[in-house]
Amino acid sequence: MTTVAHELKASYAFIERNFFLTRRYWGWELAFLVYSVAGALSISLIGADQGSPRLLLTLMVGAIFWNYLSVVFGWIAETIEIERWEGTLEYTMMAPIRRSTHLLGSVLYAMAFGLVHTAAILVVLFLFFPNMDLSQANFATVGLFMLLGSFSIVGLGILAAILPLLYVERGAQMAWVLQSLILLVSGVYYSVDVLPGWMRAISALSPATYVLDGVRRGLIDGAPVTTLLGEVWPLVVMGIVLIPAGLWAFGQAERYAKRTGKLKRVG
Partner 1 sequence: MTATLDPQLKTTRRASDDRPAAARPARPAATKPALLIEHVTKRFTVGRKRKPVAAITDVSLRLERGEIHGVLGANGSGKSTLIRLVSGLLTLDEGRVEVFGHDIERDEMAVKRLINRVSVDAAFFKKLSPMENLVFAARLYGLDARAAKPQAIAILERLGIAQKRVGRPVEQMSRGMQQKVAIARALLTSPSLLLLDEPTTGLDPRSKLDVQSFIEEVRNSHDATIVLTTHDLAEAERLCSRISILNDGRVVAEDTPEGLKQLVATRYGEAPTLESAFMTWTGRSLDDDVEEDQSGGDE
State the nearest-atom distance from the C-beta of 261 to partner 1, in Å: 6
Closest CB to partner 1 among 86 and 133? 86
Q: Enumerate residues 6+ apart whose C-beta is below 8 A from 211.
A: 65, 69, 145, 146, 148, 149, 152, 153, 235
Q: Which is nearer to partner 1, 54 or 264 (CB)?
A: 264
Contact yes or no for 40/67 (Cβ under 8 A): yes
CB of 30: closest distance to partner 1 in angstroms?
A: 15
Helices 53-77 and 139-161 pack at an angle, to 10 degrees, of: 30
* 11 touches 108 (CB < 8 A): yes
Query: Among 40, 97, 146, 192, which residue sits at the site for partner 1 (rule: CB under 8 A)?
Result: 97
Decide if residue 133 touches partner 1 (CB under 8 A).
Answer: no
Distances (CA, A) of 86 to 16, 64, 90, 91, 92: 17, 31, 11, 11, 11
For residue 150, the minimal CB distance to partner 1 (Å) is 25
Task: Please report whether residue 88 would count as binding partner 1 according to CB under 8 A.
Answer: yes
CB atoms within 10 A of CB 222: 14
Are the C-beta atoms of residues 9 and 105 closer than 8 Å to each other?
no
By the rule CB under 8 A, 30 interacts with partner 1: no
Q: Of 12 and 128, which CB lies nearer to partner 1 in the complex structure?
A: 12
Report the residue from 35, 49, 90, 204 that binds partner 1 according to the rule CB under 8 A.
90
**51 within 8 A of 64, measured Cβ to Cβ:** no
Residues 155-214 that bind partner 1 (CB under 8 A): none
CA angle 113/115/119 to nearest 5° reads 120
Q: Which is nearer to partner 1, 17 or 200 (CB)?
A: 17
Stretch binding partner 1 (CB under 8 A), from 56-64, 82-90, 153-161, 191-199: 82-90
The identity of residue 264, as a single letter, is K
**How far apart are CB 78 and partner 1 at their closest, in Å?**
13
> Where does the chain have alpha helices with state H?
2-24, 26-49, 53-77, 79-86, 89-94, 99-128, 139-161, 163-166, 171-185, 197-203, 207-219, 229-260
Q: Which stretch binds partner 1 (CB under 8 A): 6-14, 31-39, 196-204, 206-214?
A: 6-14
Q: Is 252 a binder of partner 1 (CB under 8 A)?
A: no
Contact stretch for partner 1 (CB under 8 A) within 15-23, 37-45, 188-196, 212-220: 15-23
| Window of 61-69, 174-182, 210-218, 253-261 that interacts with partner 1 by CB under 8 A | 253-261
Measuring CA to CA, which residue among 239, 187, 175 is closest to residue 59?
187
Determine if 20 is a binding residue for partner 1 (CB under 8 A).
yes
CB 241 within 8 A of CB 216: no
**Which residues are near partner 1 by CB under 8 A?**
2-3, 5-6, 9-10, 12-13, 16-17, 20-21, 24-25, 86-88, 90-97, 255, 258-261, 263-264, 266
